[in-house]
Structure 1
């Protein structure tokens, strides 16, 4: 594997963490949303990733990560009694999202730190390459 591949690997990780951050932000933005039925309520989303491998199928060295899609949480949402809400059903209940803001904040911190680590990998690789070039002087 080429030493320059480290940039591709770190960039794929940065892209994955960026998608994770965007998905988390969307979940947090919709955490308090309500709907008139359980089928219409917002459900927490999370990205699905897979390892990219170097030309040897499932046994080759990992060269990065890529998103394969976004999944919806199968957990049910909640209900809240709000008889004055225009979305309330006959009994006066609205259906709430299944987003847990605490879990989402933990996910956001984790994704942010992973992104920062990928940036550090790129900076360290760049510095090592520059030091290697200076050896020839």
Structure 2
């Protein structure tokens, strides 16, 4: 029974981690055209005591911001350039798909462990 509880907790932590990742990817996509925006990233680490997953604090991608030439933009300097964002939409869409698929895999694992627990309780009632 403890193994099934551990499986449920592990799958739930995986779903939480992927939901957090998807939230940050969504923020990155929404701010892709925001001047001066730095892409947000998170990483995962295994929780030693439960085997689940935890997320790190949010990190800002410090790669160089794109320089955009638009002399009419209110943030443009004397050369007509301003700092764009460092968000690459292709990477963000790929990250979103990966997070969605990982979330779905954890959801299937959670559902399977829940069904096994339910079956065990039905056997014990007999």
TM-score computed with the length of structure 1 as normaliser:
0.84
TM-align CA RMSD = 1.5
Q: Which runs of 5+ in 1 are unaligned?
A: 35-40, 55-61
| Higher helix proportion (structure 1 or 2) | 2
- Measure how far apart 1:126 and its partner are: 1.3
Determine the C-alpha separation between the residues in 2 that align with 1:2 and 1:130. Answer: 14
Equivalent residue for 1:10?
11
Determine the C-alpha separation between the residues in 2 that align with 1:108 and 1:71. Answer: 17
Equivalent residue for 1:53?
48
Structure 1 residue ranges, 4+ long, deviating more than 6 angstroms after superposition: none
Determine the C-alpha separation between the residues in 2 that align with 1:49 and 1:24. Answer: 15
Q: Aligned to 1:116, which of 96, 104, 116? A: 104
Q: Which runs of 5+ in 2 are unaligned?
A: none
- Measure how far apart 1:103 and its partner are: 0.2
Three-state SS of the structure 1 residue aligned to 2:120 is helix
TM-score computed with the length of structure 2 as normaliser:
0.91
Size of the alignment, in residue pairs? 124
| Higher strand proportion (structure 1 or 2) | 1
Mapping 1:35-46, distance limit 5 Å: 41-46=36-41
What is the CA deviation profile of residues 51-84 of structure 1, one whole-angstrom value per residue up to 9, with x for unaligned ones?
1012xxxxxxx61011221111121111111111
